[in-house]
Amino acid sequence: MRIIPFQPRHAAAWRDLNAAWISRHFALEASDHEVLDHPDANVLAKGGRIFMAEDEAGEAIGCVGLKAMADGGFEVIKMTVTEAARGTGLGRALMQTCIETARAAGAPRLYLETNAGLGPAMALYRAVGFKDLPVQETPYARCDTWMELPLA
């Protein structure tokens, strides 16, 4: 496995990997479509980053994005790994890439919005040090949990 920065060839995998997990648990929302269908305009061009995980054959098996925030921090978005890659430590490696990238950029924090029913994701976030925040404004109907990881 390797984690690399998003390239145009990853556009379909970025969309498909995320649409699969979101659709399995929730409904795709307008905000999902904006980020999944136009990652260049809605993430990368606004100072964010996207990382893709590939297997030895070059197939995309996971991804995560960092959306730039007004306070200089990053929001962790659209993190997923394929069913076959679950339990391999890939999710933790993707999160570690986010933490290292944000620290290198001088970000004061990582922020995320999630759903408490996503047990393995919640366990990972807590394991790397994310703490709960009070309710925040969100464009996502499925969001019921807000968290941050201070980096400074």
135 pLDDT exceeds 90? yes
CA-CA-CA-CA dihedral for 100, 86, 12, 6, to nearest 10: 20
**Residue 82 corresponds to which tokens in the numbers above?**
């394929």
Q: Kindly report, residue by residue over 70-123, the tens digit of the pLDDT.
A: 999 999 999 999 989 988 999 999 999 999 999 999 999 999 999 999 999 999
Q: For residue 64, is it within any domain?
A: yes
Q: How far apart are CA 3 and CA 46, in angstroms?
A: 21
Evaluate whether residue 28 is within a structural domain: yes
Question: For the chain, how many structural domains are there in total?
Answer: 1
- 53 is a domain residue: yes
User: 98 Cβ partners below 8 Å, 6+ apart?
Assistant: 51, 64, 66, 74, 76, 110
Question: Would 58 be classed as within a structural domain?
Answer: yes
Task: Report whether pLDDT(152) > 90.
Answer: no
Band the pLDDT of 140: cuts 50, 70, 90: very high
Question: What pTM was estimated for this model as a whole?
Answer: 0.96
Domain interval for residue 89: 2-107
Say which CATH number the domain at 15 has.
3.40.630.30
